[in-house]
Chain A
Amino acid sequence: MAILIPLLPLAGAALVGLIGLRGLRARSHWLVILPVAASLYLAVQLYFQVQASTQACAHGVRQMFESFTIYQWMLAGPDSWLNVSFRVDPLTCVMLLTVLIVSFLVIIYSVGYMRDHHGHAERGYERFFAFLAIFVFSMCTLVLAGNFLVLYVGWELVGLSSYLLIGFYYQRPAAAAAAKKAFLVNRIGDFGFGLGILLIYYTFGTLEYANVFRMIQAGVTVEGVPLESARVTTIALLLFCGAMGKSAQLPLHVWLPDAMEGPTPVSALIHAATMVTAGVYMVARCHIIFAASPYAMWIVATIGAATALFAATIALTQFDMKRILAYSTLSQLGYMFLALGVSAFDSAIFHLFTHAFFKALLFLGAGSVMHAMAGEIDVRRFGGLRKSMPITHATFLIGGLALAGFPFLAGFWSKDEIIHAAFESDMPWLAWVAVVTAWLTAFYTFRMIYMAFYGRERLPEGVEHAHESGAWMSLPLVILSIGAIGAGYLGVTIHRGGFAGIFEPHGAFHDFLSRNFGRPEVSHEGGGHLLMYVSSLIALWGIATAWYFYRRRPTIPMAIALVAGPVYRLLYHKYYVDEVYDRVFVRPLRKVGEICYDLDRYLINGVLWLITLVPRGIGFGLRRWQQGAMQGYALGMVVGLVVVLWWMLMTT
């Protein structure tokens, strides 16, 4: 059954490719919606089975942690095959449900989004849905993988889907460049990731999760010698390279903002809710490896916190709604890595889960605005859309509140759980970074909301009147906003006297995942209360500041930008990271390539020319006897052969 989950969307994609082109073009979305719905249904079934078995039996759980082999793929050594294997456990289920729910909603949304205002399908409509289906297939493969090889397969395939979808509007040079950049930056990470996988095989002689983890816990390598901690750290850091690429953490974050060149549903699905969280999923999946290396954990936490803060500061100054959201995604992913780094693996997955809802919601809302504004997404060019787009406004506001950590919405529970875990860890200073970031998050989110939806209605040129999107687009928004409100409660327990032990990982969500991550011991209760008040206040403070700056005194931001000119420019230009990379890496490498080619043409061929001078010289001397007739060459060969044979026979 688990096999069908990825295969159905793949079959859908193939069908679109084969028959979607003819006549059925504008209907090709059904070929994708139905398989994804079926996969979602199967994933729910799978969830119930896992749920039942985890409650009921140890044997079932034991089985669950083993991978099951689909078929043998390649030969790694004598009689030893690397298999295509899957593995189903609670973590898999959570990820599958997250991925498939959001995918399903985004695909429905796309039916409305990928059409013009007259309901005609855009150019490449069927291609878009085929690519989306390929993405769902790849992501499910990644999540269901039972060994590192299949993980890598899914990892690369989601990268491919991302490449294809970012470059969907391939005629726009910016889109083509962004697609290439995304793929290549990911490949930098994959270089490390691939080496990590090779090192795992080198060390443990297997790539199956279960075997690798068991050997790490036992602390031995395949030869039976004790495992050095440096080796584990190296493996963990190499794997983390992959996560940095896929989840766009510093310093490989540069591709994600550019990836917003893709259609907005793609940004919502791939570049916010699902694919970019693959790095988080992978680290959580390999938590046994990471937990075995404090140094690697320190790196993960630090990079996470640094990215969270870094991206939030950039988001303060951007005007493109999708880019603001992209930096916000970077920042939230940073939170997740912070959680991973402080061993709060289930909190990271919890935040991943809630974030998928509210961030997909925000992106789809931005898409709705963009659709109404004829492709314009710069918040300086429009405003006051509250009246004309009520559904979009309401749902976007809910998403914004959830992102800002407004009390009792999804983001509040999951984010503050991370901050709480960071305070509890041995790196409390990282928690302060997270708190500062929380304030920034609330501020930039509401800066965007106030600029886009409040004030006098302004429309970009060429748009007569803003109008609300149709049902295909509104329905997913409403469903996602329900998730953005309610998803957080899966991680909260209200029994035992109110909110006691709040922000401690005790909810149903964490119970379910405890099969993966173990059940954390209950720490001293009540610590969450203070944090709850503080973080609520921070969220409200951030929102209020945004209100004051952008509604009450709109001149203040301008003044700040003028006073803090260099800082503002630094942030506005995203710390000039792209420019630095271009100068430091891309151009020198290209230069090396040119040198290589020159070497080829001049040095090597020059040497060869010198070598050919020898026979040329001889030929010049011998020209008198041989006028270049074919017989001459034949004669030469025969004579040579005779001499050699004669010499051989003489020596015998």
Chain B
Amino acid sequence: MLYLADTWLGDHILSIVIFLPIIAAAMLFSRTAWQPESIRRFALGISLLTLLFAVLALLIYVSDRPGIAPAEWRLVERSDWLVGEDDQVPLRIQYYVGVDGIGLPLLLLTALLTPLAIWGSFSGIQDRHREYYALMLLLHGAMLGVFCARDLLLFYVFFEFTLIPLYFLIGIWGGSQRQKAADMFFIYTLSGSMLTFAGVLFLGWKASLLPIGPDGLRVFTFELDRLYQLAADGHLSLNTQWWLFIAFFAGFAIKVPLFPLHTWLPLAHTEAPTAGSVILAAVLLKLGTYGFLRLSLPMLPEASIALAPIIGVLAVAGIIYGALAAWVQRDIKKLVAYSSVSHLGFCLLGMFSLHLAGLTGSVLYMVNHGLSTGALFLVVGMIYERYHTREMDHLGGLARQMPIMAFFLILFALSSIGLPGLNGFVSEFLVLLGTFNSEKFVLPGFKGPLGIAFAVPAASGILLGAIYMLYMVGRVLFGPVKEPGHGFDSSTGLTRDLTPREIGVLTPLAIGCILLGVYPKPAIEIMEPALDRAVLARMVPQESASLARYDLSDKHKQAVELDGAYPVDSHADASNLDAISQSDRQHRMPVHLQPEIRNPSTTRREVLR
């Protein structure tokens, strides 16, 4: 049987995914003679092709070859990029890409959202098409690169590179305050990531001092695997880790954005064109959370554990603060922007709970927030194109005018407030579960840094989230019809309710929301091993990791084996199973206390040995 992973395609798929949009952007930029129509088609086609390759990458990723243990990173491609010859410490910066279960879901999210954002801006963008779509494709490639990079410097290059296209997207096609918003966005994030860059350089330099890695040579390199080894081998003192953590924090926390560094976000979101807001919310904010997860946690484990309560406090503050601030907004887009502050608080909270459920929830949260908030921005954009306002005071009762839009808006709002059955619930519940049980995730010598005191105030987010979302839905959709003075603007060629194109843009997101809500298992199964290996295994002290995760006392085992304590009529006869029909019986698992409580010997993780 032929495995795609063994072919040329398998070796280069990530490079194709990353550079296809970038090359296409360069091509597009040189085609001055193209009509807007063909520019749009080209951009959409390229982004869909990228999506196709990303899905192909997923298929290759999941198709395990029998007999070969899955590596931590797959679809790896590496070659030297900047190489300096030196007798003692050669410089070796590589082009080194690969994905694991953390990067892949975000890669797919990016690959899915960008075509939709491009398709969604067909009617909204009226001038300078060539530049607009070229910048979108450029942004697309840069974002994809971040999630694939395995070299810290490469990561940083892609990370920073996303700023430039978005700066122009906001600054040129934005709203009335676009200049201010673009400047603020750029300076805010750049000043943070400058500090991050200092941290990156320091880490590389530190690594060059020591013969780490399997070859035992000293190399000035930014290869992530080597850098992870620094803390694991005890070369980074807690003090150093603190400073590095703060350096990374500056860049990532602003990007996330973590309270109180979030003030650039509402302005940038409000002023950006629809597609810009979508990409910003869905993907760019995730660069920050991804950075924390990929770099801060595994590279600086001790500092992360030490500082987790502080991050936890900020995250909880952000959840409540963002929600309350969202509630008093009059501009729909600003409301959604503040809701992002609240949601990303959940994301970081779950991450720093260092509980497997919390971490899984956190990565799922990144994807889910991308889907639902991205979709909300798209819907808001569609309303704006028709009425040229986003003020809730000027709108009302639109469910009557635009029933299809109302359906989608309600669906995504419900997804955003974590209604069970939709995606938001899964991640929110897992985050809360992880945070709540953080301190109970007991390994000998390791205790999660958060706990009930963080989970309880965070859980108020489920109430506050409902308050502002339903407030918005009620104002916009319900009540008597209210339209701004000039009414519906038909000059854009749009129908009153959504056009087929707009329905086509929203439908994939809706399907994603439902699928990830009802059956997230495939996604979780991709994420879980990676979280375990790439993050948890590096956080937990090695000596304790080899011990069993659960230490059940004999007393407890006796207790749970108590039978008949439940009021059961024991006089009856034991053969008839008619209570539950035949088909159901097949699904039934032996429920002698399900996997939560197990034999300690089976709980050891392969990776922790």
Query: Would you call B568 and A77 a contact (CB within 8 A)?
Result: no
Q: Taking A65-B568, A68-B584, A648-B201 as contacts, is the C-beta distance between A77 and B325 under 8 angstroms?
A: no
CA distance A577 to B521 in the complex (A): 45
Query: Would you call B585 and A68 a contact (CB within 8 A)?
Result: yes
Q: Taking A63-B580, A88-B580, A515-B567 as contacts, is the C-beta distance between A68 and B589 under 8 angstroms?
A: yes
Indicate whether B32 reaches chain A with its CB closer than 8 angstroms.
no
**Residues of A213-236 whose CB lies within 8 A of B:** 213-215, 217-220, 222-224
Q: How many A-B residue pairs have CB under 8 A?
A: 297
Contacts of A160 in B (CB 8 A): 414, 419
Query: Would you call B589 and A74 a contact (CB within 8 A)?
Result: no
Indicate whether A265 reaches chain B with its CB closer than 8 angstroms.
no
Contacts of B35 in A (CB 8 A): none
Query: Would you call A210 and B566 a contact (CB within 8 A)?
Result: yes
Contacts of A205 in B (CB 8 A): 596-597
**Residues of B398-414 whose CB lies within 8 A of A:** 399-400, 414
- Could you give, for residues 58-102 of chain A, a 1 whenever the CB lies within 8 Å of some chain B CB and a 0 otherwise? 111111111111111111111111010010110000000000000
Indicate whether A644 reaches chain B with its CB closer than 8 angstroms.
yes
Contacts of A220 in B (CB 8 A): 555-556, 559-560
Contacts of A38 in B (CB 8 A): none
Query: Would you call B470 and A597 a contact (CB within 8 A)?
Result: no
CA distance A160 to B415 in the complex (A): 12
Contacts of B552 in A (CB 8 A): 223-224
CA distance A167 to B477 in the complex (A): 11
Query: Would you call B357 and A76 a contact (CB within 8 A)?
Result: yes
Query: Would you call B569 and A58 a contact (CB within 8 A)?
Result: yes
Residue in chain B with minimal CB distance to A589: B324
Indicate whether A417 reaches chain B with its CB closer than 8 angstroms.
no
Contact of A214 among B400, B466, B566 (CB under 8 A): B566
CA distance A167 to B406 in the complex (A): 13
Contact of A66 among B425, B441, B575, B588 (CB under 8 A): B588
Indicate whether A394 reaches chain B with its CB closer than 8 angstroms.
no
Q: Taking A57-B572, A176-B479, A191-B459 as contacts, is the C-beta distance between A152 and B357 under 8 angstroms?
A: no
Q: Taking A71-B521, A190-B462 as contacts, is the C-beta distance between A65 and B566 under 8 angstroms?
A: yes
Query: Would you call A74 and B426 a contact (CB within 8 A)?
Result: yes
Q: How far apart are B567's CB and chain A's nearest CB, in angstroms?
A: 4
- Could you give, for residues 560-597 of chain A, a 1 whenever the CB lies within 8 Å of some chain B CB and a 0 otherwise? 00000000000000000000000000000110111011
Indicate whether A470 reaches chain B with its CB closer than 8 angstroms.
no
CA distance A605 to B58 in the complex (A): 43
CA distance A494 to B585 in the complex (A): 39
Contacts of A71 in B (CB 8 A): 519, 521
Contacts of B524 in A (CB 8 A): 74-75
Indicate whether B383 reaches chain A with its CB closer than 8 angstroms.
no
Contacts of B455 in A (CB 8 A): 195, 198
- Could you give, for residues 583-601 of chain B, a 1 whenever the CB lies within 8 Å of some chain A CB and a 0 otherwise? 1110111010111111000
Query: Would you call B559 and A53 a contact (CB within 8 A)?
Result: no
Contacts of B587 in A (CB 8 A): 68-70
Determine chain A's interface SS by DSSP, over half rule.
helix
Contacts of B432 in A (CB 8 A): 194, 198
Query: Would you call A211 and B571 a contact (CB within 8 A)?
Result: no
Q: How far apart are B552's CB and chain A's nearest CB, in angstroms?
A: 6
Indicate whether B478 reaches chain A with its CB closer than 8 angstroms.
yes
Q: Which of A180-188, A370-378, A396-404, A526-534 contacts B (4 or more CB under 8 A)?
A: A180-188
CA distance A370 to B563 in the complex (A): 56
Indicate whether B82 reaches chain A with its CB closer than 8 angstroms.
no
CA distance A176 to B437 in the complex (A): 38
Contact of A170 among B399, B420, B460, B576 (CB under 8 A): B399
Indicate whether A555 reaches chain B with its CB closer than 8 angstroms.
no
Indicate whether A1 reaches chain B with its CB closer than 8 angstroms.
yes
Contact of A171 among B480, B553, B562 (CB under 8 A): B480
- Could you give, for residues 167-208 of chain A, a 1 whenever the CB lies within 8 Å of some chain B CB and a 0 otherwise? 100110101110110011001101100110011011001101
Query: Would you call A208 and B463 a contact (CB within 8 A)?
Result: no
CA distance A70 to B589 in the complex (A): 9
CA distance A77 to B156 in the complex (A): 32
Query: Would you call B260 and A604 a contact (CB within 8 A)?
Result: yes
Contacts of A478 in B (CB 8 A): none
Query: Would you call B565 and A597 a contact (CB within 8 A)?
Result: no
Contacts of A76 in B (CB 8 A): 356-357, 430, 433, 596
Query: Would you call B263 and A217 a contact (CB within 8 A)?
Result: no
Query: Would you call B324 and A592 a contact (CB within 8 A)?
Result: yes
Contacts of A213 in B (CB 8 A): 566
Query: Would you call A60 and B579 a contact (CB within 8 A)?
Result: yes
Q: How far apart are A652's CB and chain B's nearest CB, in angstroms?
A: 6
Indicate whether B228 reaches chain A with its CB closer than 8 angstroms.
no
Indicate whether A445 reaches chain B with its CB closer than 8 angstroms.
no
CA distance A77 to B531 in the complex (A): 12
Q: How far apart are B561's CB and chain A's nearest CB, in angstroms?
A: 9
Query: Would you call B572 and A171 a contact (CB within 8 A)?
Result: no
Contacts of B459 in A (CB 8 A): 191, 194-195, 198
Indicate whether B129 reaches chain A with its CB closer than 8 angstroms.
no
Contacts of A626 in B (CB 8 A): none
Query: Would you call B576 and A57 a contact (CB within 8 A)?
Result: yes
Contact of B266 among A3, A80, A592, A600 (CB under 8 A): A600
Query: Would you call A68 and B568 a contact (CB within 8 A)?
Result: no
Query: Would you call A157 and B565 a contact (CB within 8 A)?
Result: no
Residue in chain B with minimal CB distance to A591: B328
Contacts of A652 in B (CB 8 A): 89, 205, 208-209
Contact of A68 among B414, B480, B580, B603 (CB under 8 A): B580
Contacts of A208 in B (CB 8 A): 591, 594
Q: How far apart are A225's CB and chain B's nearest CB, in angstroms?
A: 8
Contact of A63 among B208, B481, B577 (CB under 8 A): B577
Contacts of A163 in B (CB 8 A): 470
Q: How far apart are A321's CB and chain B's nearest CB, in angstroms?
A: 25
Contacts of B292 in A (CB 8 A): none
Q: How far apart are B426's CB and chain A's nearest CB, in angstroms?
A: 6
Query: Would you call A597 and B329 a contact (CB within 8 A)?
Result: yes
Contact of B567 among A78, A516, A589 (CB under 8 A): A516
Q: How far apart are A595's CB and chain B's nearest CB, in angstroms?
A: 8
**Residues of A591-617 whose CB lies within 8 A of B:** 592-594, 596-597, 600-601, 604-605, 608, 612
CA distance A403 to B602 in the complex (A): 58
CA distance A394 to B581 in the complex (A): 42
Contacts of A67 in B (CB 8 A): 591
Q: How far apart are B87's CB and chain A's nearest CB, in angstroms?
A: 13
Contacts of B549 in A (CB 8 A): 78
Indicate whether A55 reaches chain B with its CB closer than 8 angstroms.
yes
Query: Would you call B566 and A201 a contact (CB within 8 A)?
Result: no
Q: How far apart are A401's CB and chain B's nearest CB, in angstroms?
A: 36
Residue in chain B with minimal CB distance to A517: B567
A-B contact pairs, 30 of them (CB 8 A): A53-B579, A54-B572, A54-B579, A58-B572, A60-B579, A62-B574, A72-B521, A73-B521, A74-B429, A76-B357, A76-B596, A78-B549, A80-B596, A88-B580, A167-B478, A170-B397, A171-B397, A176-B479, A184-B467, A195-B455, A198-B433, A202-B440, A208-B591, A218-B559, A219-B559, A224-B555, A224-B556, A593-B324, A600-B262, A605-B263
A sample of 11 more A-B contacts (CB under 8 A), given A56-B576, A76-B357, A184-B466, is: A53-B576, A60-B578, A75-B430, A76-B433, A194-B459, A202-B436, A206-B597, A208-B591, A214-B593, A224-B553, A224-B556
Residues of B in contact with A (beta carbons under 8 Å apart): 89, 187-188, 198, 201, 205, 208-209, 260, 262-263, 266, 321, 324-329, 355-357, 360, 397, 399-400, 414, 419-421, 425-426, 429-430, 432-433, 436-437, 440-441, 452, 455-456, 459-460, 462-463, 466-467, 470-471, 474, 477-481, 519-521, 524, 528, 532, 549, 552-557, 559-560, 562, 565-581, 583-585, 587-589, 591, 593-598, 602-603, 605
Residues of A in contact with B (beta carbons under 8 Å apart): 1-3, 49-50, 52-81, 83, 86, 88-89, 149, 152-153, 156-157, 160, 163, 167, 170-171, 173, 175-177, 179-180, 183-184, 187-188, 190-191, 194-195, 198-199, 201-202, 205-206, 208, 210-211, 213-215, 217-220, 222-224, 515-518, 589-590, 592-594, 596-597, 600-601, 604-605, 608, 612, 644-645, 648, 652
